[in-house]
Amino acid sequence: MEQKQTEKFIKKILFSSTMAIEKKPLKEIIAKNVVTKEGRRLGIVKDIAFEVKTGELLSLILSSPTAYTQSLTLEKTKEGDALIPYNAIIAIGDFVVINEEDIS
């Protein structure tokens, strides 16, 4: 998808009246592109991390991190995959949109 289409989609999500993230099955989140609300691409959702005892979602695990993502000071898995805190997610649709201020 072109950069302008991505930015248009993100603006539509950010300025919609309903900002709550609805529940989605994991299979609908895996392989989605992760972008910041400014339109910067970060990578692709590889998996999620959660607290086993409580089921609390902790973070998204990214594959194919961009050079920009690698320049950020993100927590990483033992395998070196970047972690995006779950509380940074603004919306999930065609993309997973995150607030960059919540990850640094």
Residue pLDDT, tens place only, 68-103: 999 999 999 999 899 999 999 999 989 999 999 988
pLDDT at 13 > cutoff 60: no
List, for residues 41-51, the tens digit of each pLDDT value: 999 999 999 99
**Rounded percentage of the chain residues whose pLDDT exceeds 70:** 78
User: Could you tell me the CATH number of the domain that includes residue 9?
Assistant: 2.30.30.240
Q: Name the residue range of residue 81's domain.
A: 3-102
| Range 2-18 burial, b when 16+ CB lie within 10 A, else e | eeeebeebbeebeeeee
Distance CA 60, CA 30 (A): 9
The pTM score is: 0.76
pLDDT at 103: 86
pLDDT at 1 > cutoff 60: no
Domain count, the chain: 1
